[in-house]
Amino acid sequence: MTLDARRLLGFAFAAGDLLIEIDEYENVALALGAARALLDTDERGLIGKPWRDLIAVADHTLFEALLAGLRDGARGGPVVARLAGGRSAQISLRRLAANNDRVSCSLIAAPKGRSADSADGLFGQADFEAITSGLLDIARLTGADMELAMVEMSGLDEARQAMSPADAAVMDAKLAGAVRAESHSGSAAARLGDNRFALVRNRDGDSAGLAQRLTRAIALNTGGAAVNAAAHAVALEPRDSASRMMRAVRYALEDFMREGLKDTAPESLSEAMNRSVRRTLAQAGELGAAVSQRRFNLNFQPVVDLATGDAHHHEVLVRFENGGSPFSMIRLAEEFDLIEELDRAVVEQTIRRLRAEKDPTIRLAANISGRTITSEAFVHQVETQLKNCPEARGRLIFEVTESAAIDDLPRADRHIQALRGMDCLVCLDDFGAGSASLAYLQGLSLDIVKIDGRYVRELADSGRDGALVRHLVGLCGELKIRTVAEMVETVEIEEVVRAAGVDFAQGWLYGHPADRPEKPKRSPGVKPMNAKRVGERESWG
Ligand code: C2E
Ligand code: MG
Ligand code: MG
């Protein structure tokens, strides 16, 4: 090392606590400064060591991405990385042409940055929003110019599928490291889906360059598949109030998660938000039209009586034109006050179906939102329709879902009692999914409680003995309420719920939702013990 080179280093990193030079074999060729304070060894102890010994394993892909980025002309940091031994340092890299292309690396002791729990160092949406909010505060104070970049990878799924899981993991880790390396301090990046990422970084307005570097970062790890990054960036100009800015960030991110990148990048954060709101409104409008024009179908899934093996009734599940799960549409309908209209339309069609049904033993259970049950107009509609269709009387069941909270329990209970007075059974759906389930059980008089599928499926996953489900069934028994277990997918789960004393079961084991009420494809063996469990209103079967 010549005196010149030392001087060069000194100029480049006057602020560094420790300066390191990494040679073409990725080993430390030179170390100057406070090595002991950062890495518990003196400068000489570092010479000849691979850089991987100095950096915590969790941040290897981050460091690799910084090194690779240098070749492509990217800034080498600064990022905050964890060191071997547990301390953290702010690291900047430079490639010095005058110094045999060795990489010079300055480390400044840094407080531990906020680090993600995930193995790849990327945050989830909620944490990322919190970090962005913090960076916005910094930008406001310092006048720093930052941007929110959204990155979408094409071809990633195909590449993953074509390679071994181990190779796919390497590719994903590389990509995560590369995304982090582009972000502010290496710690402002998020994974928002299998192939979508977001990051905050100093503004350079060159999102094409960002996309190019990310594409190149994993080019050697895609198993030959064409994987390409595309990126849009919007400036985070802290002009608005902090809360409005963050709302705009949230809308922009949610839109990106839902829709991916569109052809043209939004010009500003507020434009990104407006686009998102416009799209949501358009979807809501489309939903409203689909409901009012009855552009939806009903599917039916059997709910099996574990005592007799027959279908006790079928649950009615709405399907829109795409045929998939209606869940996001239901959410949208609740957000935009369209849910009552939807529920009324579904109930109307359900009654119609009961009238047309040749088999008079078929009973149908329609879902209604916690919102709808507080509507008096809804109850009146049911009353009128049942009057006009005596065939449906005694065959209509309601499942009150917990996707929206019931805000007025006494009122909801009055309506539930009115429906029960019209010979309808009322079931509380999704029991245990929300925090208010027990309050509902206390405040409402019901016929049936449906235990949320997540508890039922857990019975198999964790091999638990179903103590929770047994307690619930015991509690319901005291209240003379019968129970349904949903998402029963295997014979093992059927056995556990049966042993717990559950009355009815629903799930793929007996049949998927179908376009007509079909017989259960499996009839559970009848156990006399269960046959003796009689509910309050046994005339219902
Ligand atoms: P839910 O009422 O809890 O309905 C059960 C959901 O679980 C259905 O999803 C069904 O297809 C699914 N499922 C049934 N068996 C199994 C199984 O063994 N394994 C698994 N993994 N899933 C199973 P779907 O049809 O996507 O409906 C989602 C939710 O949308 C429903 O949950 C309900 O809350 C709501 N929903 C559906 N139709 C209507 C409606 O007409 N009005 C209202 N307000 N909500 C509805
Ligand atoms: Mg339901
Ligand atoms: Mg449910």
DSSP code per residue over 388-426: H-GGGTT-EEEEE-SSS--S-HHHHHHHHHHHHHTT-EE
Q: Is position 116 within any domain?
A: no
**Same domain as 467, residue 432:** yes
Angle, vertex CA 344, rays to CA 388 and CA 540, nearest 5: 60
Question: How many residues can be counted in the chain?
Answer: 541
Please give the sequence-ordered ranges of beta strands (E in DSSP) within 142-243, or none if there are none.
Answer: 146-154, 189-191, 196-202, 228-236
The tens digit of pLDDT for each residue in 1-13 reads: 554 555 445 545 5
Read off the pTM. 0.63
Per DSSP, 139 falls in state: H
- CATH number of the CATH domain containing 509: 3.20.20.450
State which of 428, 450, 486, 506 you would mutate to test the pocket of ligand 1, scoring each by most atoms of that ligand within 8 A of its C-beta: 486
**Average pLDDT value for residue range 478-483:** 95
Q: Is residue 154 part of a domain?
A: yes
pLDDT tens-digit series, residues 433-470: 877 788 899 999 999 999 998 888 877 776 566 777 88
- The CATH number of whichever domain residue 223 belongs to comes to 3.30.70.270
Among protein residues, the one whose CA lies closest to atom 8 of ligand 1: 317
Quick one: 159 and 85 in the same domain? no
Q: Are 80 and 185 in contact (CB under 8 A)?
A: yes
Tokens 């307005």 correspond to 205
User: 399 C-alpha vs ligand 2 centroid, how far in Å?
Assistant: 6
Q: Which residue has the higher pLDDT, 77 or 133?
A: 133
Residue 170 lies in a domain: yes
Instruction: With respect to residue 531, please indicate whether it lies within any of the assigned structural domains.
Output: no
Asked if 65 and 197 sit in the same domain, the reply is no
Same domain for 305 and 198: no
Window from 329-343, 346-360, 458-472 with minimum mean pLDDT: 458-472
**Helices (H), ranges, 462-522:** 467-478, 491-499
Which-ligand-closest: CA of 430?
A: 3
Task: Please indicate, yes or no, whether residues 136 and 188 belong to a single structural domain of this protein.
Answer: yes
83 vs 241: which has the higher pLDDT: 83
Q: Are residues 132 and 276 both part of a single domain?
A: yes
Choice between 279 and 190, residue whose per-residue pLDDT is larger: 190
Q: Which contacts qualify for 390-393: CB closer than 8 Å, 24 or more apart? A: 391/354, 391/355, 391/360, 392/351, 392/354, 392/355, 393/422, 393/423
User: What CATH number does residue 80 fall under?
Assistant: 3.30.450.20
Asked if residue 526 is part of any domain, the answer here is: no
Number of domains present in the structure of the chain: 3
Flag whether 286 is in a domain: no
Task: Return the structure tokens found at 236.
Answer: 């985070």
- Protein residue with its CA nearest to atom 5 in ligand 1: 486
Clarify whether residues 105 and 134 are in a common domain. no
Query: Is residue 158 exposed (0-12), middle (13-18) or buried (19+ Cβ within 10 Å)?
Result: middle
* Residue 444 falls inside a structural domain: yes
- Asked whether residue 17 falls in the same domain as residue 149, the answer is no
Question: Which residues are bridge partners to 492 per DSSP?
Answer: none
pLDDT at 295: 93
Q: What is the mean pLDDT of the chain?
A: 88
Asked whether residue 439 is assigned to any structural domain, the reply reads yes
Residues 346 and 427 in one domain: yes
Q: Are the C-beta atoms of residues 456 and 491 closer than 8 Å to each other?
A: no
Ligand 1 environment, Cβ below 6 A: 301, 317-318, 325-327, 330, 343, 346, 367-369, 399, 401, 403, 429-430, 486-487, 489, 506-508, 513
Residues in CB range of 388: below 8 A, 6 or more apart: none
Which atom from ligand 1 is nearest to the alpha carbon of 508?
Answer: 18
Give the range of the structural domain holding residue 61, as residue numbers without chain letter. Answer: 3-109
- The closest-lying atom of ligand 1 relative to the alpha carbon of residue 366 is 41
DSSP 3-state helix, strand, coil percentages of the chain (rounded to 5)?
A: 45, 20, 35
Give the number of the atom of ligand 1 that is nearest the alpha carbon of residue 486.
Answer: 15
Q: Are residues 246 and 334 in the same domain?
A: no
Same domain, residue pair 276 and 308: no
Same domain, 97 and 204: no
